[in-house]
Amino acid sequence: MENFASLYSHDFVRIASCVPRTKVADVPANLAETIRLANAGSAARAAIMVFPELGLSSYAIEDLLFQDALLTAVEAAIDELVNISRGLYPALIVGAPLRSAGGLFNTAVVIRQGSVLGVVPKTYLPSYREFYEQRHFTSGAGICGRQIRVAGRQAPFGVDLLFRSTGSVGVTFHVELCEDFWAPLPPSTMAAMAGAEVLINLSASNITIGKADTRRLLCASQSARTISAYAYSAAGPGESTTDLAWDGHAAIFEHGEMLAETERFAKESTLLTADVDLGRIRQERMRFNTFRDCAREESRRMAEFRTVSFQLDAPGDLIPLQRTIERFPFVPSDPAKLREHCYEAYNIQVQGLATRLQASKIERPVIGVSGGLDSTQALIVAARAMDRLNLPRSNVLAYTLPGFATSEQTKCNAWALIRALGVTGSEIDIRPTARQMLADLQHPFASGKPIYDVTFENVQAGLRTDYLFRLANQKHGLVVGTGDLSELALGWCTYGVGDQMSHYNVNASVAKTLIQHLIRFVADSGEVSKETARVLHAVLDTEISPELVPPERSGAIQSSEQAIGPYALQDFNLFYLTRYGFRPSKIAFLAHHAWGDVERGVWPTDIPAARRRAYGLGEIRRWLVLFLQRFFANQFKRSALPNGPKISSGGSLSPRGDWRAPSDADASVWLAELADNVPEKWPVSANVPSVVAVKGSY
């Protein structure tokens, strides 16, 4: 892949929303500032740049809009801008009052590299409270299939225009103006269903107290409902304050989330950029059949759109991605959002288990407790489910099942937790039975040889599960599964009579990277005793291990992450493969952006500095190869999963839920794509001018 390090190689497109400082009715001055910002946006390699409504003339100039001198100056400005655009990269979308067929229209003029691609008139003209647009303008409602002469050029004119690039940067956008998206059915809704992925809004929008929140709500809602990006630009400094004021609010949204926003009430011009993920938008539309069904219902109106084609190719230089990618897709870095996610996940688990127990007419959860993260969370959930059902916690039957590699630390943690939660605890040493089974199998371990192969491990894992099911039979109980989403994705579990199986698995949709935060959430919630909180924090400090192989002579214990990779990276890979269907090269690109620099972005506050580290592209590539191999090879385990509640939007591998796949699929296509397109080392990027820092994630 050429330019692996460039955002344009991975379905991203850079959008710019501009707020120029203007002078009232001073067209040459407004043009000059527009050109200055256009040059800056071109240098930053923005593909599309939007400017405010009537930005060339000024918005609040009342009856000056009827003056021939002003209107002629506007056309001259457009002519100059068209000529200058020949040397610029982006498509420019500017606001201008234009005459056509005896009327005056409030329009957006779309310009690229020496051509006027099209002119879009405003549909809804506000004439209420402080607005009097119908006094000056003619509505564009119903104007389809027409042409307009602007600056000596013929151009498509109407509300039926879609602008589509046929170059290597394939993007389709639609333009509407201010009041259009305040309407119950904005024009951009139909445009999105007709194929527009980026929706553009040129606005003036004077500011009043609280209005900015409404704008954000409308932009976010429209981008979410239409599964699109929405770029908004409003008038700012220099606009007339005779009766109104202007905050220069510009923002860019993607599928309901704000990617970037300007500082409001800035003194000077502002250039805001955000890198929009067109691949995400396309994946979401492809999956969300309701979007397509609605488009089919409106197919007659969809057919009215004209497509204006233009050529937009990726820049030859490397354009670094300037977008925050969360390191932990299942764990928000924002503390408030993380608390909310933990609250919801914990209560989904509790509600799911409580409902299953009620439906089964069973009052005794049976659970194996190892002292590790997963069984700790499952035991907390089981205890809380008893509270919800008004049953004694002693009904929870918790068993420690020590094997050949069980450490004293985890065993002590397990028993301390059992006592702190007030559940019924018992212990069954599986080693005698395991030795007998290994002897029956004539395994070398039975004759004293230190052979710790998969059979040695699975004999222990299988016995634990076998005991739990037989205990459930004996006690009229229900086996609560403890294996998590990450282990299921990697096949890090024993199939059938093993930890892959249970009667109901409360952790099946919880990623390993989230489990620790759920435990911390409960520990710090105030709902548990100080002793319980102490034990929970002790569990959090324990290294993740299946504890099936005895420690080495050095004392080093069996480490899950040494065998299957860092859970931080593998959860990242899992999320973007299953939630969005991204190709491996894009996943690696995003992973490097998230993990390549320990100082970049924001970490979840609960992760101590000592545990914060970076991963180079070589490491990311290596662990992604392993992930793909294991993910495909272990689908058979997921095809036979027990029930368990879905918890996050990217977090279910149940064959009855988010993920349906054949058990015999081959990973070669994915591995080849990775091998062909991901280099071993990160390429050296060209120097690109800095742009406004943006926020935003998936």
Q: What pTM was estimated for this model as a whole?
A: 0.94
- The CATH number of whichever domain residue 246 belongs to comes to 3.60.110.10
Task: Establish if 591 belongs to a structural domain.
Answer: yes
CA distance 306 to 146: 10
Q: Which pLDDT does position 592 carry in this prediction?
A: 97
- Residue 696 is predicted with a pLDDT of 40
Helix or strand run (H / E) with residue 48: strand 48-50
Residue 654 inside a domain? The answer is no
Q: Which tokens hold the place of 658?
A: 């988010």
Q: Spell out, as residue ranges, where the chain has pLDDT lower than 50.
A: 686-697
Q: In terms of domains, do 306 and 398 share one? A: no
Determine the pLDDT at residue 374: 95
Angle between helices 373-388 and 530-540 (to 10 degrees): 150
CATH of the domain at 570: 1.10.10.1140
191 and 273 share one domain: yes
**Is residue 128 within 8 Å of residue 167, measured between CB atoms?**
no
What is the residue range of 384's domain? Answer: 335-563
In a shared domain, residues 360 and 495: yes
Provide the domain count of the chain.
3
Q: Looking at 563, 578, 602, which one is the last position of a domain?
A: 563
Q: By C-alpha distance, which of 384, 405, 411, 409 is closest to 395?
A: 384
Take residue 143 and report the two structure tokens written for it.
Answer: 């104007």
Domain co-membership, 284 together with 366: no
Give the total residue count for the chain: 698
Paired residues of 163 in beta bridges: 173, 308
Taking only Cα atoms into account, the Rg of the chain, rounded to an integer number of angstroms, comes to 30
Positions of E strands within 390-505: 397-400, 424-427, 478-481, 504-505
CA–CA dist 110, 202 (Å, integer): 11
**Is residue 315 situated within a structural domain?**
no
Q: Which residue, chain included where needed, has tokens 């199986």?
A: 501
The tens digit of pLDDT for each residue in 54-85 reads: 999 999 999 999 999 999 999 999 999 999 99
Q: How far apart are CA 464 and CA 466, in angstroms?
A: 5
Cα separation of 548 and 457, whole Å? Answer: 5
Same domain? For 392 and 450 the reply is yes
Instruction: Read off the CATH number of the domain in which 544 is found.
Output: 3.40.50.620
Question: From start to end of 244-387, where are the E strands?
Answer: 250-254, 257-261, 270-277, 306-310, 365-368
Any idea what DSSP says for residue 395?
G
Separation of alpha carbons 302 and 296, rounded Å: 9
Q: What is the pLDDT of residue 685?
A: 54
**Same-domain status, 452 and 586:** no
Q: How far apart are CA 627 and CA 225, in angstroms?
A: 34
The structure tokens listed for 198 are 């980026």
pLDDT of residue 690: 44
Q: Alpha carbon of 417 to those of 373, 424, 533, 569: distances in Å?
A: 12, 11, 9, 30
Residues 55, 67 share a domain: yes
Q: Are residues 407 and 454 in the same domain?
A: yes
Q: By three-state DSSP, how is residue 332 classified? A: coil
Closest CA to 635 of 649, 655, 606: 655
Are residue 693 and residue 611 in the same domain, yes or no?
Answer: yes
Residue where a domain stops, chosen among 543, 563, 583: 563
What CA–CA distance (Å, rounded) separates 484 from 491?
11
Question: How far is Cα 648 from Cα 661, in angstroms, rounded to an integer?
Answer: 19
Question: Exposed, middle or buried by CB within 10 Å (0-12, 13-18, 19+), for 113?
Answer: middle
Q: Is residue 642 part of a domain?
A: no
What SS3 class is residue 697?
Answer: coil
Domain assignment present for 575: yes
Give 65's DSSP letter. Answer: G
Angstrom distances, CA of residue 355 to CA of 350, 363, 389:
8, 11, 9
Whether residues 546 and 505 share a domain: the answer is yes
Among 538, 563, 588, which residue terminates a domain? 563
Strands 397-400 and 250-254: unpaired
The residues with which 400 forms a beta bridge, in sequence order, are: 427
Distance CA 621, CA 619 (A): 5
500/461 Cα distance (integer angstroms): 10
Tokens of 164: 């589509």
Whether 159 maps to a domain, the answer reads yes
Q: Are residues 555 and 588 in the same domain?
A: no
Is there a contact between 507 and 644 (Cβ–Cβ < 8 Å)?
A: yes
Judge whether 643 lies within some domain: no
Does residue 611 fall inside a structural domain? yes
Number of Cβ within 10 Å of residue 107's Cβ equals: 27
3-state secondary structure 137-156: CCCCCCCCCEEEEECCEEEE
Domain check: are 529 and 671 in the same one? no
Catalytic residues: 53, 122, 178
**Helix (H, G, I), strand (E, B), or coil: what is residue 331?**
coil
Report the amino acid identity of residue 370: S
C-alpha closest to that of 513 among 417, 603, 629:
603
